[in-house]
Amino acid sequence: MNTEHRIVILGAGYTGMLAAVRLARRTRRLPVRITLVNPSARFTERLRMHQVAAGQELADYRIPDILAGTGVEFIRGWATSVDPEARLVTVDDDRVLPYDELVYALGSATDTERVPGVAEHAWTLNDPRAAHRFAGRLAEVAAQHGAVAVCGGGLTGIEAAAEIADQHPGLRVTLISTGEPGAMMGERARAYLHRALDRLGVTRNVGHAVTKVLPDAVELADGTLVPADLTLWTAGVRVAPLATRAGIATDELGRIIVDRTLKSVSHPTIRAIGDAAAVRQPWGVIHGTCQSGLPTAAHTADTIAKELRGKKIRPFRFGYFHQPVSLGRRDGVIQFTRADDTPGRFYLTGRAAAFYKETVSSTPPKAFRLSKKMTVSVQLSRGGRATRVDD
């Protein structure tokens, strides 16, 4: 009879990695076996993919090296199915992993299916290998003083457009968005953002949806064609369909619906974290960011360890703290926020903001290493009164 408590973690992004390392430390004196499944042995810094796309090289973090000394077993492969009734995960090499608890951390990716031509003609920041190939093509286009279109006016699109323009001044960069870039920020921070984009020479095309991506242009809803030797697509997200196919309760985006402790409402032996989870707070459902994802991972690791020891657990509480945006390597804007992510009074700009953003981006790998030795705080705000409800 197996006496080990078997925990399988799917996905080794920011949330899956932190959950694995933190859980290993929290349960090191308990009969627990932790298995981490991920298709790549390299840890991907998703916060920095716009830097890779612009032609910069990142540190090479290897998942087995990060896990060294933790006792966590790493399996390189794709999870192809989950059987929540039998508590089994099947990996693409036909291995079957039984579990007592499953931590679902598969994250999200850019949606390339809703608009015709995106999958065929646009690039995304979903995969570091694709980002590297984009960077190679970008250098060729820059040498010809060509044009690049970045579709999507969210923070990822803004950072990508700014980074590309900063690294390749001769390029014609157009940021295409249905809404105003930086609309989530306060008026002054947003004004600074637009002045920075002007300084970098980034043209904004705002107010018209993209209806088609062509090999050499982007077609807008009003019929306008925006010339583009390269198109980078950052608009919209999708999550892996694995949970929905397994019969686990998910929302309209495919995220697992969780209770206040981040357990699946339909299958309590499954916990979802990061972008894969529909986490509700009193002010609404959290939108996926590293800022919110790491706290869900830490909470889940701590909660599992407490439950195994028979201790009382508390509901997850989270409040947003900031919207950090890099504008190239030497500039940025940080909008500090209320718990519900609406803009507060304060913001930071310029080189100080660039340093702040760099600190934020570099924190996760450091947190993984430190979490092997001590409990590391990864949450800036629990939301105060905005998230306080009766337990």
Provide the pLDDT confidence category of residue 148 given band limits of 50, 70 and 90. very high
The pLDDT tens digits for 163-180 are: 999 999 999 999 999 999
Compute the distance between CA of residue 163 and CA of residue 180 in angstroms, rounded to an integer.
Answer: 19
Other C-beta atoms closer than 10 Å to the C-beta of 154 total: 19
Alpha helices in 275-391 (DSSP H): 290-308, 350-371
Q: Which carries the bigger pLDDT value, residue 383 or residue 71? A: 71
CA gap 48, 58 in Å, rounded: 8
Report pLDDT for 375.
92
Write the pLDDT tens digit of every residue in 52-81: 999 999 999 999 999 999 999 999 999 999
Q: Which amino acid is at 369?
A: R
Confidence check: pLDDT of 389 > 80: no
Q: Which CATH superfamily is domain 5-107+240-320 in?
A: FAD/NAD(P)-binding domain (3.50.50.60)
* Residue with tokens 């994802």, as numbered in its chain: 293
Give the pTM. Answer: 0.96
Give exposure, 242-279, as e/b (b: 16+ Cβ within 10 Å): bbbebebebeeebbbbbeeebbbebbeebbbbbbbbbb
Tens of pLDDT, residues 11-46: 999 999 999 999 999 999 999 999 999 999 999 999
Architecture of domain 118-233: 3-Layer(bba) Sandwich (3.50)
User: Is there a shared CATH topology between the 5-107+240-320 domain and the 118-233 domain?
Assistant: yes
pLDDT digit string (tens) for 175-232?
999 999 999 999 999 999 999 999 999 999 999 999 999 999 999 999 999 999 999 9
What are the domain boundaries of the chain?
5-107+240-320, 118-233
- Residue 103, pLDDT > 70, answer yes
pLDDT in tens, 278-296: 999 999 999 988 999 999 9
